Amino acid sequence: MLHLWVTLFSLCIYAIAQRHHHSSEQHQEALISVPGDFTFDTNSQIPLSEEPWTSKYGAQNDLGYSGPLSFSHFKYRKCLEDASAPFDIGIIGFPFDTTTSYRPGARFGPYAIRSGSRRQSLGAGRGYTLAWGSSPSDFGSSLLDCGDVPISAYDNAKAIDQMEAAYSTLLSRPVLGGTSEVYKEKTRAFSLDGKEHPRIVTLGGDHTIVLPILRSLHKVYGPVSVIHFDAHLDTWPPRGTTAQEGITHGSFFAVAAEEGLLTNTSIHAGIRCKMLGIEDMQHDDTVGFQVISAEDIDDYGIKKVIEKIRERIRDKPVYLSLDIDVVDPGQAPATGTPEVGGWTTREVKRILRGLSGLNFVGADIVEVAPAYDNAEITGIAAADIVHDFLSMMLVDGPPQPHNGPFSNIDLVS
């Protein structure tokens, strides 16, 4: 009896599979490309242009909350296997979180940041903000979402190599070139080969993703300075009984410094974590960092914070790494190692605006772990910060104040 039922069931599955196969084959044959902008479906009785939707409403545009997921509705290409679209700034996701010390989940960060970016619609030309007085799409630059890197979730050494290979691949691609002459010289002046290289904005991932990024950047630019927004130092000496165990999201900057990837003119912003003792700060100094603490913003104000970062970096090539835990967990709860008493998103955005004009060779945002989020608050914050990254990298200096009661007051940087 059981045998009969199994046979009947198998026959049903076979029949369904055959039907599906037949209909998809028929569909493929029916779609024939014809000259012009539309595809003609021979199964249809009328041309596409005369169909009810097209004739009445035109194109099938994506809305803020619809369509496939790319950052800010940018064009999406799997750049590692498709070199057909040149880009000046590429967005790439590093879904990696197997070196976290506390709450895992940042492998879902790229997804959450793209999801949080849907309403920005920068790809549809809606990116102007009062703060910047421009949109990242105003500079004639090609902004492309390059997809995610397939990264091993089981072998960290392999994962780190995959990230380096991916980043180096993107860095080696030709740029389209923006409309601004100054922009065109942004990276050429620093690259060891004298060529202009694209800039990559990476969506993490836990913070260890910065080690393979710095290894890639080093091959193109030599040692770089780092502006590091974070609640934590991330400069702990490597610990553990194996080489791989020593590379974590709390030690990767120390590893990078040991490898000679950094200048000794880097700077942290937003630090407020608990430490083993003053020895952590002493070691941090040997890694090449100055420290701006979370409280410094109250004692000295935002303008001074900006001034001190600019003084430290000057005109050197600089990489910006932003751990979302620099923001207070009240405004960005979805992260692996939350620390209270952080900066507001408004403060972080204001500081970023003040850093524009520095010689950025790349940037990232890391440690967004959406499983701990509420109402997408962290994903939306991270996506908005990436929007600021783009402006920060494209404008030639801090923007002028907008028209209004403060327009005559000097607010430079």
The residue ranges that bind Mn ion (CB under 5 A) are 207, 230, 234, 323
CB of 264 to Mn ion, least distance (A): 20
* Residue 322 and residue 363 in contact, taking contact as beta carbons nearer than 8 Å: yes
For Mn ion, which is the closer residue by CB, 196 or 230?
Answer: 230
The answer, yes or no, to whether the previous bond of 341 is cis (omega within 30 of 0) is no
For Mn ion, which is the closer residue by CB, 100 or 120?
Answer: 100
Cα–Cα distances (Å) from 231 to 205, 217, 224, in that order, read 17, 24, 22
For Mn ion, which is the closer residue by CB, 234 or 347?
Answer: 234
Cβ neighbours of residue 355 under 8 Å, at least 6 residues apart? 227, 306, 309, 310, 320, 392
CB of 100 to Mn ion, least distance (A): 10
Instruction: Name the region of 286 (left: φ>0; alpha: ψ -120 to 50; beta: rest).
Output: alpha
Q: What is the DSSP string of 233-279?
A: ---PPP-SSSTGGG-STTTHHHHHHHTT-B-S-EEEEEE----S-HH
CB of 234 to Mn ion, least distance (A): 5
For Mn ion, which is the closer residue by CB, 323 or 347?
Answer: 323
For Mn ion, which is the closer residue by CB, 73 or 207?
Answer: 207
Q: What is the phi/psi pair of residue 212, to 5°?
A: -65, -30
Cα–Cα distances (Å) from 21 to 15, 16, 25, 28, 29, in that order, read 10, 9, 6, 11, 12
Strand order in the sheet with 225-229: 75-76, 143-148, 89-94, 199-204, 359-366, 317-323, 225-229, 266-271, 289-293
Amino acid letter for position 55:
S
CB of 337 to Mn ion, least distance (A): 7
CB of 359 to Mn ion, least distance (A): 23
For Mn ion, which is the closer residue by CB, 191 or 290?
Answer: 290
CB of 367 to Mn ion, least distance (A): 6
CB of 231 to Mn ion, least distance (A): 7
For Mn ion, which is the closer residue by CB, 335 or 391?
Answer: 335
